[in-house]
Structure 1
Amino acid sequence: MTERDLEGWTLVFDLDGTLVDSAPDLIGTLNRLLVEEGLPPVEMEAAQTLIGSGARALLVYGFEAAGGDMERARSEALFERFLTDYRAHIVDGTRAYEGVEETLDRLSARGARLVVATNKRTDLSELLMQKLELASRFAAVVGPERVSARKPSGAHLTEAVQIVGGDPARAIMVGDAAPDADAARDAGLPCILTTFGYTPVPVEQLGADVLIDTFEDVEEAVDAIVSSFYVRRAMGV
């Protein structure tokens, strides 16, 4: 029988670049829109670091790189076309990173409460996770419209933890980029960052408590942070 030694702890996960590799479909949508507008597509490697900044930033980047009309890039009509196309192609190429399902199941079996805090709209995030059969593993998916402020504000994390009945004093953030690290710092949460996600800034410069090279490493990183928490408490620190 698995020991429920993580009972009372909440693990907060970013979505894109942390749980799933969604770059193929996000950039696929961007490129279809660019071609429809008579502009050349962008390279996957050049655009994927912007994924954490959202669809509007991708559109601006794509139009700027192609010398397109920047007013058009920022238009609400084009943004809505992006969302419609992305919804239709949301799991054409998107996949969970290797080891995600097994690691999440082990953490849950040990008593951890799991929640997603993402800057992607909640409806799109839930649709993506349902199609990849990840949704049932989480107590909630908390997009920006469900909280008072989105990442990099720490309010996104603390409110996500509270939504699922957790204690922010016993919560850990797992992400891949500056908005995750900054939000964790603002909320006073320990932070684990992936080295395989989407960040324009080298992940080593973001101030994470632990860096992980594969998703399977999350469990060991969580154990180290939790052990340190109990050691500090025993010492009265």
Structure 2
Amino acid sequence: MQRLSSSSFTRTPVTRQALTCRHILWDWNGTLLDDVWLCVEIINELLHKQHLPAVTRDQYRNLFDFPVRDYYQKLGFDFEQTPFEQIGTEFMDHYRRRWRECSLHSQAEEQLQRFFDAGMTQVILSAAQVSLLDECTRFYRIEKYFGAVLGLDHHYADGKVEIARNYMQDIEIDPQHIVFIGDTSHDALVAQEIGVNCILYVNGHHPAEKLTPWQWPIIHSLQELQQLISIHPYP
């Protein structure tokens, strides 16, 4: 399959018209998993340790971005004093101990079940470590819904554009029949880079103000997917 880039297609304008879809790419953190509150708590612990000011949930959602190295710098971390790798590892140590305190977003499993029952292919596409993603899907008992779980081989969350590009090379699906459901501007960028449709969920790691400029449909509840995605499974 030919590699797609942002110059190889025209972005679908914002519309509430249902998208014809056979294949769904799901972001994990903030889209299916409601973990923003936990990330705020952990980052504030790390900021306190470095004698840096804490952030509110709103501040966090406005500052958070990929690669997370840049986001840490915005928070005030000095990598000459404490290397980025040390901060990233410490964050993930806290996260790995506590992620089970999180719940799936409301309607997450219902929508997964709906698409699964319709025979549609569903894949997780995340900047998280694959081993953690596998552990999470087993813990929440949702692993049956996914044909693949795509992530990184490390925990530094530097983005997922290359993962997505490589995946698109391996499948034989019209990009216009694929929808990526995410919660950040990075997810919108990924969708643009691989030429697929996108739906953005505002109850995750980015607020509506950071998502609106991408001109993709925005939802406030995962239940809205029922109106935005027209099920079109393979014969």
Query: Which TM-score applies when normalising by structure 2?
Result: 0.75
- Pairing 1:78–2:91 present: no
| Superposed displacement of residue 76, structure 1 | 2.1
Aligned to 1:3: none
- Aligned residues of 2:65 and 2:71 also touching (Cα < 8 A): no
Amino acid at match of 1:81: E
Aligned to 1:34: 47
- Pairing 1:175–2:188 present: no
Identity %, equivalent residues = 21
- Pairing 1:103–2:111 present: yes
CA-to-partner distance for each residue in 1:177-196, whole Å, 9 max, x for gaps? Answer: 22211221221111111232
- Aligned residues of 1:98 and 1:215 also touching (Cα < 8 A): yes
Larger strand share, 1 or 2? 2
Unaligned runs of 5+ in 1: 1-7, 227-237
Give distance in 2, aligned partners of 1:70 and 1:159: 31
Please state whether the residue corresponding to 1:143 is helix, strand or coil: strand
Amino acid at match of 2:139: K
CA RMSD for the aligned pairs? 3.0
- Pairing 1:22–2:35 present: yes
Larger helix share, 1 or 2? 1
**Larger gyration radius, structure 1 or structure 2:** 1
Aligned to 1:198: 205
CA-to-partner distance for each residue in 1:110-154, whole Å, 9 max, x for gaps? Answer: 0111101111222233333333333332122211349xx943x3x
Match of 1:47 among 53, 57, 60: 60
| Superposed displacement of residue 54, structure 1 | 5.5
Number of corresponding residues:
209
Give distance in 2, aligned partners of 1:73 and 1:55: 15
1:1-237 equivalence runs, <5 A: 9-53=22-66, 55-62=68-75, 64=76, 69-92=78-101, 94-145=102-153, 150-151=159-160, 153=161, 155-160=162-167, 167-169=173-175, 170-199=177-206, 201-208=209-216, 210-223=217-230
Unaligned runs of 5+ in 2: 1-20
